[in-house]
Amino acid sequence: MMTARRPLPNLIDRLPPARGRVEADAPLSELTWFRVGGPAEVLFRPADAKDLSQFLKMLPADVPVTVIGLGSNLLVRDGGVPGVVVRMGKTFGAIERMGDVIRAGAGVSDINLAAFARDAGLGGLEFLRGIPGNLGGAVRMNAGAYGREIADVLVAAEAVDRAGNFHRVTRDELGFSYRRSTAPADWIFTAVELQGTPEDPAVIAAKMDAINAAREESQPLRTRTGGSTFKNPEGRKAWELIDAAGCRGLRIGGAEVSTKHCNFLINRGDATAADLEMLGEEVRRRVKEATGVTLEWEIRIVGEQLPRVTP
């Protein structure tokens, strides 16, 4: 006599207890600037670093973990993200001044950190006004704009690894290079300390206003976009290569290469994640063919593609 197979447990039923919010089959599209993508199998918003540590320590080893922040430089594929997606949000939003150093949670947006520094009379951090996203992601990728990058101002960063262990590292230990750090892939940054320099708040404000004006003039800010799509190759500008390859205004489905700044991809309103990814790959193909340069994605792509439907 055959016995019926017991159904496999849902992932959420296998997870350890947490003080933060845990949600199964959670939509991610509204958490990304592109406004596309499938759901997280489980979305976890930790209450604090200790909650995150305990959760990861007890999480079954076979469960994958993906970390997201404000969803700016992120493309979530249409099939969603398997395993646990950890969102570093408002519970990691504390900011405090310690002399000329600002300590902030990894969930603080780069723009809010720049505003805090301005009000505190600490200069040198104005460039963060020009970077979408939060501080955790900025440290991970050594984000930069307008001639400066995180490596120029980071004092230290704190992180939790997949086993739940805490780490505190200095700038030199993170091995920064252009849009990269050598931080282990399983580290989740929880806090950062950034060095400022005393300066007149009015002078800082003027610099930030200039950065904002430059962005408004050159970038498609009021569209569904993910920011800079490709990294600048050494000694070259990605947008110039894309333009030279005739990709300005190129479309696939509801996705378009911005006519205002062609290193930006735009969701025209009905794009899928597949449209955006295919458009990006077509741009890479055309640039390689026209210039011999292979562009590297700056936007992070996560999740699974939906199976193609055969007509």
Residue 196 has φ and ψ, to the nearest 5°, of: -115, 175
Instruction: Please check whether residue 156 is in contact with residue 114, taking contact to mean a CB–CB distance below 8 angstroms.
Output: no
Whether the Cβ atoms of residue 229 and residue 297 lie closer than 8 Å to each other: yes
Give catalytic status of residue 256 as yes or no.
no
Asked whether the CA dihedral 70, 10, 58, 301 is positive or negative, the reply is negative
Element spanning 55, H or E = helix 49-58
- Among the listed residues 72, 109, 181, 228, the single catalytic one is 228
Closest CA to 131 of 121, 120, 142: 142
Is residue 276 helix, strand or coil?
A: helix
**CA dihedral sign, ordered 99, 105, 106, 112:** negative
Nearest to 12 by CA among 30, 1, 2, 25: 25
3-state SS, 107-118, equals CCEHHHHHHHHH
| Known catalytic membership, residue 258 | no
68: which strand partners?
87
CA distances to 24, 121, 126, 142, 162 from 117, rounded to whole Å, are: 38, 6, 8, 19, 32
17 Cβ neighbours under 8 A, 6+ residues apart = none
Catalytic site residue from 97, 179, 248, 300: 179
Identify whether 281 is a catalytic site residue.
no
Catalytic (active-site) positions: 179, 228, 298
